[in-house]
Amino acid sequence: MPLLLLLSLVLLDTRTLPSSSLMMADAFSSPLQMLATSVPSKRKRSNSHRSPLAEKADLRKSASRQRRDSQHQNKNNQNKKGSSSFPSNTNTKTSKEHPNNKQTPRSLGEAVQHAQTTQELLEVASQFWLPTDPDLPSHLRTQAVHHEKRQRWGAQLLSKLGDSCLYSPSSLLLVSWQDSRLTRGVLAAALPFEADSKRTISDQKKEARTLREALLGLHTLVSQTYECSNNEHSPNNPDLLIGIKRLLERAESLADIYDLNEALEVRWAARGIVARLGSSVAPSDPDMSILDSNDDDDDKTWYLASCFPQLESRVESLPFDVLPLGIDLSSDLDGLQSSVDNQYDMINLLQESIPFQFDTIVTRTGNSVTERRGTAWVAEEGIGALAYSGKLMPPSPVPPLVRDFMRRIETAIQAPMPKFFDCALCNYYPDADAACKWHTDPEHGKMWERLCCVVAIGSPRKFAFRPIPGHTSWNEWDGPDSNEDTNCCAAAIRLFPGDAVIMWGSCNDDFHHAVYPENEQPHTSDLQRVSLVLKRAIVRGGRRGHGLEGHGRRARRKKNMKT
């Protein structure tokens, strides 16, 4: 009804309207357009009749909004003055759109994630709180959740700190074992919540993951500083050594919590740390003086196995292992004094003595590709060729330096007999992109003994094992109660100069292995690496190794017939 009344008013004779209305009517092409501009909206009409209670509510909202704006302004002013706390980030959208804009982190965890350099990570480490600090707030001292965060963030810091120094000598120089910041970072990851007596399996799994991350990062850091001659790189800080020892002891106590591939990684990292830092960080053992003595390498190998009996029992059935410092490259090798400073001289010497070639090989899919790594086959007299990826590699004489590697590693792994290894597949990785995909070594048990050993020289790279998909699984080696979700997961550890990988038994029947590329450092020419795969030939049909085309008995008969 009101709408019809308004329409009738619009349709009145324009002579009865005021002059101002006549001008408005002329401006519109239809009465409905004029109606739309002259009738107020419902929102405006309702605003003119608001109740006093609604107006008071609006006033309260406005006052609350002003208080929040004032608080934000005060916090921003404090941040500009260099506040050491971690206030909330008020512009997360800007942070995502502009990653280069540094926002003040809200917690130590965010500070660890934001830190990009070694120096920044050490600065964050200095801000960690510890259970031993005096005058801690009661909630930090008594609530388990804060201790869990501290340990997790400490582990993340150690992981990033190890990676930040990788392939960066300038960053490595910033790391001193006497630095109280590094000590605080290690203790943050190591010191447990002593009052937490009722720990569930879920809590133990969380702690196990934290310890794994901490030990892998610490292993990377320790291995890089091992060969340094500077005394500051020899950890003799009692608090630091206590922290490292606590990490190792706790990892050993949780050996049964880890999945098998994780237990392998933790054990490899723990053994690498003890091999380089000595008995000062090893779990208590009556024979721990062996590690610091000048006894034979086989005694030291036995000692490393005795340091972590629970971890050892988890992995003892597996047909492969990693031996840290299987060869100490700081000692004389065939008259060459080697150290970290001349690792590249060692690579150059191996390149000069080994005839590496980048051959064309046939992949499993039948494609022909040029290898991204150089290869060479060296063997003692009387050993034939190696069949590899669709090619026959003729043997070259074993260089004296490679023969020295053979004799030393035989002692370290307690080989079945003296002079066990008599041939080697030599691989040269020229840069960070060069890698080796998942594969098995061919003809082990047929042409070559099942016991073989890989010695790493030069740039650190990750070496990994996994069960052959569809053929075996971690469950078959760990028992039916293991986690089926990890059956195809890899176990990987970064190999440093002198580390050795040992394979025996059914390893090449049941497990793939691979060398990962360093994706964070592509096309870097100074990341050269050489690996020596030491083997022993099996006498088969009166000869060792494969015969070359044109060199067999049939070829000789044909040659004699022609003559």
Pseudo-torsion of CA 436, 116, 241, 277, nearest 10°? 30
State mean pLDDT over 494-521: 93
- Angle of helix 260-277 versus helix 201-225 axis, rounded to 10: 40
Residue whose token pair is 């809590």 = 203
Summary count for the chain: helices (H), strands (E): 22, 18
Of 292, 316, 340, the domain-final residue: 316
Answer for the pair 437, 516: CB distance below 8 angstroms, yes or no. Answer: no
Residue 453 lies in a domain: yes
Tell me the whole-structure pTM to 2 decimals: 0.77
Q: Looking at 42-143, list the stretches that DSSP marks H as alpha helix, in order from N- to C-terminal side.
A: 42-47, 52-80, 92-97, 108-114, 118-125, 138-142
Whether 438 and 537 share a structural domain? yes
Whether 361 and 267 share a structural domain? no
Domain count within the chain: 2
Whether 224 and 352 share a structural domain? no
Cα 559 to Cα 449: distance, rounded to the nearest angstrom:
34
Whether 310 and 346 share a structural domain? no
**Domain extent for 115:** 105-316
- State the pLDDT at residue 370: 86
Residue 327 lies in a domain: no
Strands 423-429 and 374-379: antiparallel
Whether 204 and 303 share a structural domain? yes
Residue 31 lies in a domain: no
Beta-bridge partner residues of 321: 502
Whether 130 and 211 share a structural domain? yes
Helix (H, G, I), strand (E, B) or coil at 48: coil
Whether 440 and 488 share a structural domain? yes
Instruction: For the chain, give the mean pLDDT.
Output: 80
Residue 113 lies in a domain: yes
Whether 115 and 256 share a structural domain? yes
Give the model confidence (pLDDT) of 215-261 as tens digits. Answer: 999 999 999 988 664 444 567 889 999 999 999 999 999 999 999 99
Residue 62 lies in a domain: no
Q: What is the DSSP string of 459-496?
A: S-EEEEEEEPTTT--HHHHH-TTS-GGGTT--EEEEE-
**Cβ of 407: how many Cβ atoms within 10 Å?**
14
State mean pLDDT over 425-443: 93
Q: In which band, very low, low, confident or very high, does the pLDDT at 525 lie, cut at 50, 70 and 90? A: low
Beta-bridge partner residues of 385: 546
Give the model confidence (pLDDT) of 156-181 as tens digits. Answer: 999 999 999 988 888 888 888 999 99
Answer for the pair 337, 398: CB distance below 8 angstroms, yes or no. Answer: no
Q: What is the DSSP string of 234-254?
A: S---HHHHHHHHHHHHHHHHT
- State the pLDDT at residue 519: 77
Cβ neighbors of 13 (< 8 A, separation 6 or more) are: none
Answer for the pair 444, 452: CB distance below 8 angstroms, yes or no. Answer: yes
Q: Is the pLDDT of residue 411 over 50?
A: yes
Cβ neighbors of 150 (< 8 A, separation 6 or more) are: 108, 128, 129, 130, 188
Question: What is the CATH classification number for the domain harbouring 484?
Answer: 2.60.120.590
Q: Is the pLDDT of residue 310 over 90?
A: yes
Residue 563 lies in a domain: no
Residue 203 lies in a domain: yes
Whether 280 and 352 share a structural domain? no
Q: In which band, very low, low, confident or very high, does the pLDDT at 360 lie, cut at 50, 70 and 90? A: confident
Whether 377 and 516 share a structural domain? yes
Of 316, 341, 374, the domain-final residue: 316
Q: How far apart are the first and last CA of the chain?
A: 124
- State the pLDDT at residue 53: 57
Tell me 546's DSSP state: B
From the list 421, 357, 413, the residue with the least C-alpha distance to 388 is 357
Whether 395 and 476 share a structural domain? yes
Cα Rg of the chain (Å, integer): 35
Of 290, 316, 342, the domain-final residue: 316
Answer for the pair 156, 112: CB distance below 8 angstroms, yes or no. Answer: yes
Q: Is the pLDDT of residue 82 over 60?
A: no
The residue with greater pLDDT, 518 or 23, is 518
- State the pLDDT at residue 451: 98
Cα 152 to Cα 147: distance, rounded to the nearest angstrom:
9
Residue 388 lies in a domain: yes
Sheet holding 500-503, edge to edge: 320-323, 500-503, 452-458, 529-535, 423-429, 374-379
Whether 379 and 474 share a structural domain? yes
- State the pLDDT at residue 51: 60
Structure tokens at 357: 């070639």
pLDDT-above-90 percentage for the chain = 53
From the list 429, 410, 432, the residue with the least C-alpha distance to 421 is 410
Q: What length is written for the chain?
A: 563
State mean pLDDT over 311-331: 91
Q: In which band, very low, low, confident or very high, does the pLDDT at 279 lie, cut at 50, 70 and 90? A: confident
